[in-house]
Amino acid sequence: MIARQSDAGHFAKNWQQQLAEAFTSLDDLCRYLHLDMGSLPVSTSAAQPFALKVPVSFAACMEKGNPFDPLLRQVLPINDELLAYPGFTDDPVGDIAASPQAGVLHKYQGRVLLVTTGSCAVNCRYCFRRNFPYGDLQLSKQTEQAAIDYIQADPSISEVILSGGDPLLLSDARLAQLFTQFSGIGHLKRVRIHSRLPIVLPARVTDTLVEILAQSGKQAIVVVHCNHANELGGQAQAACRKLNRQGITLLNQAVLLQGVNDNAAVLGQLSEQLFGLGVLPYYLHLLDKASGTGHFDVSESRAKAIMAELQATLPGYLVPKLVKEQAGAASKTLVI
């Protein structure tokens, strides 16, 4: 079992091997963290529709023996996921209505999002797409050309966003093929990749991947997803620096989560550490109200109070924009 081998031996493996050895068993994860599963509010029922999945590289950043670790809270299936909260739905941001064809979401003027895969390296319990019908709406090799044609036919589209799931779970060959397709679209200026992998599975940031992004012919932007400074272990730091050294723009988006980062000091530390790695704090999202995530919700009034504290203590460039996404809106809604 992965929990019985040394971390050093695990981290010597390539990213695909590390992904294959991610924790998918509550028993194994708790054993690795020196926790008694019987004392935790874990729910095997919650893990049935949305499975546990935690890379060892992410678990290694957790404090062993601490049942309240903020990173553990993000990934541990618990009883509260089974509660029904008013206003929480399976499609909280209107993705399905914004999909003109398989693999394509077109919500905002000038940019289009490709749902490249339904897979992630980590299953975050607050995920707004945890109930998304990937089987019907994700990009496939069969529908890829139609998506490229859609972008080619609309000269107003200047930016493509690769999302998922997590687009960096695509192979290097598949990513290179996509970028080759994008290079032939003259009105396309930028390709943005939204990925949790540089943080939770930093081994994915290989020299080959960096070369694909740096030599893509389009301006490449990587938007990482980091919610807490403790996620920025040595390997994640190295991955961010590797991307930064090649001139790839790095932004961070976080989600405001009760019991994880709903604290100005915690968010301030996150911003400082990110900026030290060349990552600009970009968005702090209010929770998207997906079914099963209500226990993470932070009220808008509390969020505004936290932001006021941040603005009073940090320079402006370290204060992310507090936003929420509303189905049918023309853009993210700026809260403060």
pLDDT, tens only, 63-105: 999 999 999 999 999 999 999 999 999 998 888 888 898 899 9
pLDDT higher than 80, residue 125: yes
Task: Give the other-Cβ count within 10 Å of 64's Cβ.
Answer: 11
Supply the CATH classification number for the domain 96-334: 3.20.20.70
Instruction: Please tell me the chain's helix, strand, coil percentages from 3-state DSSP, rounded to the nearest 5.
Output: 40, 15, 45
Instruction: Please report which confidence band the pLDDT of residue 336 belongs to, taking 50, 70 and 90 as the band edges.
Output: confident
In angstroms, how far is CA 154 from the centroid of its own chain? 28
pLDDT value of position 5: 52
pTM of the entire predicted model: 0.94
Instruction: Please report which confidence band the pLDDT of residue 140 belongs to, taking 50, 70 and 90 as the band edges.
Output: confident
Q: What is the mean pLDDT of the chain?
A: 94
Of residues 254, 114, 214, the one with CA closest to residue 170? 114
Report the share of the chain in percent with pLDDT over 70: 99
Beta-strand ranges (E) seen in the chain are: 104-105, 111-115, 159-163, 190-195, 219-225, 249-255, 280-285, 321-324, 333-334
CA angle 252, 77, 83 (to 5 degrees): 105
Amino acid at residue number 117: T
Name the DSSP letter for residue 72.
Answer: H
pLDDT value of position 3: 42
- The predicted-structure confidence for 188-241, as pLDDT tens digits, reads as follows 999 999 999 999 999 999 999 999 999 999 999 999 999 999 999 999 999 999
Instruction: Please report which confidence band the pLDDT of residue 141 belongs to, taking 50, 70 and 90 as the band edges.
Output: confident
Instruction: Name the one residue in this structure whose structure tokens are 């003259």.
Output: 186
pLDDT higher than 90, residue 279: yes
* Structure token digits, residue 185: 């679209």
Instruction: Name the one residue in this structure whose structure tokens are 């779970």.
Output: 169
- Rounded CA gap, 326 and 289, in Å? 10
- Rounded CA gap, 275 and 82, in Å? 37
Of residues 22, 295, 43, the one with CA closest to residue 166? 22
**Domain spans of the chain, in order of start:** 2-82, 96-334
Cα torsion angle, 177, 181, 187, 193, sign:
negative
